Amino acid sequence: MEILLVLLTPLLGGLLMALFGTRRGAPEINAVMSFLTLAAAAALTVRVISRGAFNAWGEEFFVDAFNVFLVALTAFVAFTTSLFSRPYMRIEQHHGKLSANMLRLYYSMYQVFTFTMLLALLTNNMGILWVAMEGATLATVLLVSLYRTPASLEAAWKYFILCGVGIAQALFGTILLYFAAEKILGAGGNALLWTHLNAVKTQIEPTVLSLAFVFLLVGYGTKVGLAPLHNWLPDAHAEGPTPVSAVLSGLLLNVALYAVVRSKVLVDGALGNHMAGNLMMGFGLLSVVMASFFLSRQKDVKRMFAYSSIEHMGLMTFAFGMGGPVATFAGLLHMTVHSLTKSAIFFAVGHAAQKSGTQLMEGIRGLIKTNPTLGWGLALGTLAILGMPPFGVFTSEFMILTTAMHNYPWSMPFLLAALGVAFAAIFGRVQLMVFGETSGQRLPHPPALLPVFAHLALVLMLGLYIPPYLAAWYRQATALIG
Amino acid sequence: MAIPLTGQIINLCASLLLLIAFAMLSQRRILSLINLFALQGLVLSVSTAVVAYSSHQHHLYFSAALTLVLKVIVLPAILHRLIRRLNVRWDVETMFNIPTTMLIGIALVVFAFNLAAPISQMAGTITKSTLGIALACVLLSFLMMITRSKAVPQVVGFLSMENGLFFAATSATYGMPMVVELGIALDVLIGMFILGIFFFQIRAAFDSLDLRHMEKLKED
């Protein structure tokens, strides 16, 4: 029942916004629908806390410790982003960048995007997971090209083609998975249900499954933004509207990584070796190193933080690849804190770019003078994402690094050098943007800064104190992933 | 061991698909490309129906019908309408080198057969020898997308890649579960509509559908 509510609310929202998206109150309805989704997700969470994991609808959906916290996180970030997009999109409209019809498209697709994310998380069927991931791409393509500028169209085209090709590889992987599983589970719907696959994973033919995993990793890895298939990510983040950048970084990348980890669990069971983990560590490490060196060459602020997302996704992939209780726990924690911090940064960056009239970093100066709250939001968010204590990112990165040092000492020089380069690149630039002289003008509508500080407060809390039930979930999920 | 008649028909369809994939790879004219795509859909639908008949998997008849409607009628009709309205009906792609592309294509087919060989050994289905061809079709469509610089041929390549994947699903496993197949069909259809909107946006911004105008976003 709760699952149905979680899924139907954003779908209904999408329909409502398609019909009434041009009305005056559209941003408010959008926020209300997102809030209702959050409420439904909270109800689902409460049920999982009290009753444990369960299946629904003839096992088509299932909820366990691993996906329930991602559902809650997705619904939460989707809600705060809808709060942020209310003034942000008004200001964009005021500046004449968007028309009423474009806004209708934005609100409607925003809700549909939330729906596809939640469907991908809740479904038990690896095939439907694929369908939902592809649906998420389709819902966001027109959002990336919302401004209809040549650059945004190019970014959206690249996004569509690269992710489309990538996800086609994942479909081939899913077909191979079905092919291998069908021999044990029999033809029909059950052979793609994750819970059934997980139960028989030790009997599945290992050669087919290892090939399937390669395709799945490349396919979903494209959407995670893993190097060398990351090209779409900085373009899509920089050229799309800022709320879309925030949900792409905060939610879509997480859900794609979730798909990879679900596949890894099956493959690990079937192969009994560390092949899947090694592949993930390799791609993860490559992404971390590559992204950190591109970071220092960026001029556009949203592009820079997009590369930072690649770096962090690489770090998480590396952590899940290492496996073991500490690294997996850290990977899950890092998913949570990165998603919260990065979306908070995008909120702040979005308003900063609106004030300065440019996304180029050399044009953004002295935020702390014209709007101290915004300036502090960006400064604190940046400190958090760079892994400064006491924020939660520090905790998870520390756990990942210590495990890496213990088990894979050869990776340390790469990781430390990459993190150091990233720190220098981002910190130096953000300092100039926050302090310094300014000529920025006032915004026509008051900016939404509550979501920024709400996110940062949560990240701070996770750095100092993880609530017992959350820690219990992480531990259960860790036991599940192994 | 003699191969039954249905098996021979399926193998014939598989070789036709490979042939069409090569034809698409070397076709410069957009209009002919779309017709080839429709033909590919038709062969796919026939082969799915034959697999359904020989294996008594009745849900595959439904997949065959779905393929027929979606990939032979609806998608080509949308594409035809699009190129008429965009005035690119008689466009000819000039930039790519056909002989080199064909040679790379042959190498890809060899690679695909080698990759699929161990899996084909294990397949219990009547169609197991066709998995290599399916993978080859996917890779050839991929190559086609890389070599083209215009938007419509890239999309046809994308759709034909989906055809190859569908063929892989029927040839290795007698088709995916119905709910998944419907979902995939829905995604393809929505994707096509979105691309249609997208073409008009691109043309409004660039005055052409040539993707070489869209190479501005690069790292310096």
Sequential pLDDT tens for chain B (220 residues): 567 888 888 889 999 999 999 999 988 888 999 999 999 999 999 999 998 888 888 888 988 999 999 999 999 999 999 888 888 877 777 767 888 899 999 999 999 988 888 777 776 666 667 888 998 999 999 899 888 888 888 889 999 999 999 998 887 777 788 888 888 888 888 988 888 888 888 888 888 888 777 777 776 5
Q: Under DSSP, is residue A63 helix (H, G, I), strand (E, B) or coil?
A: strand
Interchain pair B180, A157: CB under 8 A: no
The torsion angles phi and psi of A7, rounded to 5 degrees, stand at: -85, -40
First to last CA, chain B: 61
Cis? peptide before A447, omega within 30° of 0: no
Interchain pair B158, A189: CB under 8 A: no
pTM of the model: 0.94
> What are the b/e assignments for B148-157, b being 16+ CB within 10 Å?
bbbbbbbbbb
Residues within 8 A of A (CB atoms), B 162-191 only: 162, 165, 168-169, 172-174, 176-180, 183-184, 186-187, 190-191
The DSSP bridge partners found for residue A62 are A55
Residues within 8 A of A (CB atoms), B 133-162 only: 135, 138, 142, 145, 151, 154, 158, 161-162
The confidence score (pLDDT) of residue B170 equals: 83
Rounded distance between C-alpha atoms, residue A82 and residue A76, angstroms: 10
Contacts of B145 in chain A (CB under 8 A): 161, 165
- Return the H-helix or E-strand segment holding A56: strand A54-56
Residues within 8 A of A (CB atoms), B 51-110 only: 57
Q: What are the Cα distances from residue A396, in Å, to A14, A69, A441, B77?
A: 35, 16, 38, 53
Q: Are A209 and A266 in contact (CB under 8 A)?
A: yes
| Structure tokens, A193 | 């249900």
The torsion angles phi and psi of A129, rounded to 5 degrees, stand at: -55, -45
Q: Under DSSP, is residue A231 helix (H, G, I), strand (E, B) or coil?
A: coil
Amino acid at B188: V
Ordered by start, the domain boundaries in chain B are: 5-217
Return the ∠ at Cα B102 (arms to B99 and B108), rounded to 5°: 150
What are A239-284's pLDDT values in tens digits?
Answer: 999 999 999 999 999 999 999 999 999 999 888 888 999 999 999 9
What are A92-102's pLDDT values in tens digits?
Answer: 999 989 999 99
Interchain pair A150, B213: CB under 8 A: yes
Cis? peptide before A389, omega within 30° of 0: no
Spatial neighbors of A54 by CB under 8 A, at least 6 apart, are A47, A48, A62, A63
Q: Out of A128, A155, A175, whose CB is closest to B172?
A: A175
Interchain pair B151, A189: CB under 8 A: no
Interchain pair B179, A182: CB under 8 A: no
Shortest distance, CA B65 to any CA of chain A (angstroms): 19
Rounded distance between C-alpha atoms, residue A153 and residue A142, angstroms: 9
Q: Out of A134, A148, A187, whose CB is closest to B174?
A: A187
Q: Is A272 exposed, middle or buried (0-12, 13-18, 19+ CB in 10 A)?
A: exposed
Q: Are A440 and A358 in contact (CB under 8 A)?
A: no
Spatial neighbors of B205 by CB under 8 A, at least 6 apart, are A148, A149, A150, A153
Q: Under DSSP, is residue B209 helix (H, G, I), strand (E, B) or coil?
A: coil
| Structure tokens, A141 | 């393509």
Instruction: Count residue pairs from A and B with Cβ separation < 8 A.
Output: 132
Q: From the candidates B159, B182, B189, B194, which should be mutated to test the interface with A, based on the most A CB atoms within 10 A? A: B194
What ipTM, to 2 d.p.?
0.91
